[in-house]
Structures are given as C-alpha cells and as structure tokens.
Amino acid sequence: MICTSRHCNDDLTVVVLESREGCLLLASCYMAHDKPAPPDELRRLVDMVCSSNKHIIIGTDANAHHSVWGSPDINDRGESALDFILNHKLRLANRGEVSTYVGPTSSNVLDLTIATECTNVEEWRVLDRPSFSDHNYIQFTIPFNRLPAAQPFRNPRKTNWAKFSSLVSKSLGPPGNINSVSPEVVQEDDPIIQKVFMENLLLGPG
C-alpha cells in the first residue's frame, strides 16, 4: 500500500493498492458542510482517474442529503454530489436506508461509498455495533482478484510530432503550391492523417 501525497490534504487521503491482479486507489474524503460537494481536490482526483482508466473507491462523509442513497430529504449538496457521480459514470455502493450518521437529535445517510464503474464493491452494509462516534461503521468487500486490469491509453500530449510530420509527408507526398483545399481532398486525406496520428501517440499505462 502506497500513500500518494500529491492528492492528499487535511480532508482527503489517497492510497494505492498494487498487486499482480491490478492497481486500485482508495480515497477517504471529508466534505465540509461549508465547502462545495464534492470539493475541487476530489474532482481533480476523479478526473485524473477517469482520464487514465484507473480504478478508485471513495469513502466520504458527504454531508449531503438525497433520496437516492436513503436520506429522507434532498438538499442542494445532495443534488451536486449526485450530478458528480452521474457525470463521471461512477457507482454508488450504498445499499438500503440504514442511517450512517446518528446524532443526539437526528439521524441520516451522510456517508457514501463511490466507485468507478468496473470496480466491484460487494456486501456493503452499515454495522450494528458501537463505533464510539456519531458515524456508524461501514463494511464492504473488494474482490481484488476480479479487478479489471487497467488498459493502456493514448496520450495526445506525448505525440512524437517530428515523426508524425515525416510520416504524413511520406504518406501524402509533397504539398506543392496550395491555394485552396477542396472538401474532396480533405475527405481523401483525413483517414491517412488520422492513421498516422494514432500510430504516433505514445501509449501510457492505465
């Protein structure tokens, strides 16, 4: 288990689990009630995970209400958190309506377990045993041996532009004097340029 400090702050901790079966990020995030839900740091982390085809499970005290995860009401934070989950194609692992927060005057479902689409979170439940906190214990199983291997992805920022220009010239021939470009020429040359472009994108690990 490796702590990735560049994504961590007072409210967000991220560790990386690595094995021969794959790589999984685990994040713990506190969403303060006076800050956006989710906070910018978590948004940046999830953007990185999605763009690089990695896998993550996030446990968070969201301080957000929504009927989707069992709250009796819906507030603006709940709407914002749900939009974030849906827009990033994440999965909500919460099951049932057992309160995760039990205070002196109220109880609610405030703690969310969120995962990337292909990451299995099984047997999620709220434990009925003392936690010595106003938040209950949450338990779930991660079948790490069934974690999908991250797929390589092509990073346009790492394109070998010198090689790309050379291969385009070889594939299309010398440009000559260009006064105008007809749609027919563009349609004819576009597949060639796209093929050369994809061949020169450097593959990065997922």
Condensed to tens digits (0 to 9), the pLDDT of residues 44-98 reads 999 999 888 889 999 999 999 999 999 999 999 999 999 999 999 999 999 999 9
CA 83/CA 27 separation, integer angstroms: 19
- pLDDT the model gives residue 157: 57
**Closest residue by Cα to residue 87 from 55, 50, 39:** 50
Identify the domain boundary among 146, 171, 190. Answer: 146
CA 52/CA 55 separation, integer angstroms: 9
Residues 113 and 165 in one domain: no
Does pTM surpass 0.75? Answer: no
Q: How far is CA 204 from CA 10, 39, 69, 89, 154, in A?
A: 31, 28, 36, 22, 6
**Domain assignment of residue 27, given as a range:** 2-146
Residues 20 and 72 in one domain: yes
CA 2/CA 18 separation, integer angstroms: 8
Domain count of the chain?
2
The answer to whether 149 and 206 are in contact (CB under 8 A) is yes
- pLDDT the model gives residue 206: 46
Beta strands in the chain (DSSP E): 2-3, 12-19, 22-30, 56-61, 90-92, 101-102, 107-108, 111-116, 122-126, 138-141, 153-155, 202-204
Identify the domain boundary among 146, 168, 193. Answer: 146
Element housing 86 (H / E): helix 76-87
Residues 167 and 197 in one domain: yes
Instruction: Give the ranges where 31-75 is alpha helix by DSSP (H).
Output: 40-51
- pLDDT the model gives residue 21: 67
Region of 60 (left: φ > 0; alpha: ψ -120 to 50; beta: rest) is: beta
Q: What token pair was written down for 44?
A: 């940046």
Q: Within a 10 A sphere around the Cβ of 24, how many other Cβ atoms?
A: 21
pLDDT, tens digit only, all 206 positions of the chain: 555 667 788 999 999 988 776 789 999 999 998 888 999 999 999 999 988 888 999 999 999 999 999 999 999 999 999 999 999 999 999 999 999 999 999 999 999 999 998 888 999 999 999 999 999 999 999 987 766 555 554 555 556 667 656 665 666 666 555 555 555 544 554 555 555 455 555 444 44
- pLDDT the model gives residue 143: 84
Residues 186 and 127 in one domain: no
